[in-house]
Amino acid sequence: MTRFLGQPELRGRAIFLEDYDMVLGQHLIAGGDVWLNTPLRQNEACGTSGMKVLVNGGLNVSILDGWWDEAIDSKEPTETRPGWIVGSRKGGSFDDLYRRDAASVFDVLEHYVIPEFYDRDEDGIPHRWVERAKESMARLTPRLSATRMLHEYIEQACRPAARGFAERSADGARLAL
């Protein structure tokens, strides 16, 4: 990585952040306009940084893997999605995936993300960008929150387990005899 970043044409343009943790993530996410997430497909971690970007008004540009694949409707028109998709679900060799996803990153940035970000009114406001960010926050944040997860856990795991225990324990645990 250091050899790659040491190339003269990258100096001052790219950095490597070692030991990424919650504190560093908090600084990166606060005030970020876009979160670019392009791990090799099927190697996505949990993706919580991209989820945190939602509540901070940032937009995601990500491959269809992990949480983003669950969060976004790839059949929805690009113009109305609450973020952008890189690549597709099409399989292939590592080289094929890498080549197609790399081409897709540049295509999405060039034709969608950058033009929308810089399409501003006379006051410098990117209205479509702000609209998309609000839509992303409204639509995705409730579905990807710890509150939703906790409610589902209680309803789908804890309460059924408690009912089962109560049934098995009834009448001196008669069912167990």
pLDDT in tens, 102-117: 999 999 999 999 999 9
Same domain, 118 and 155: no
Residue 13 lies in a domain: no
Same domain, 175 and 113: no
The pTM (predicted TM-score) of the whole model is: 0.73
Same domain, 120 and 176: no
Same domain, 50 and 107: yes
Same domain, 51 and 136: yes
Per-residue pLDDT of 50-92, as tens digits, reads 788 888 889 999 988 888 888 888 899 988 999 999 988 888 8
Structure tokens at 85: 């998709």
For strands 59-63 and 34-37, give the pairing: parallel
Same domain, 114 and 68: yes
Same domain, 67 and 150: no
Residue 62 lies in a domain: yes
Residue 135 lies in a domain: yes
Contact at 8 Å (CB) between 85 and 108? yes
Same domain, 109 and 135: yes
> What region, left, alpha or beta, does residue 30 occupy, with left being phi > 0 and alpha being psi -120 to 50 degrees?
beta
Per-residue pLDDT of 99-154, as tens digits, reads 999 999 999 999 999 999 999 999 999 999 999 999 999 999 888 888 888 999 99
Contact at 8 Å (CB) between 34 and 105? no
Same domain, 89 and 172: no
pLDDT of residue 121: 97
Instruction: Tell me the residue range of the domain where 177 lies.
Output: 145-177
To the nearest 10 degrees (0 to 180), the angle between helices 22-29 and 48-55 is 40
Residue 16 lies in a domain: no
Contact at 8 Å (CB) between 113 and 34? yes
Same domain, 132 and 165: no
Number of domains in the chain: 2
Same domain, 53 and 31: yes
Candidates 67, 68, 98; CA nearest to 81 is 68
Same domain, 43 and 121: yes
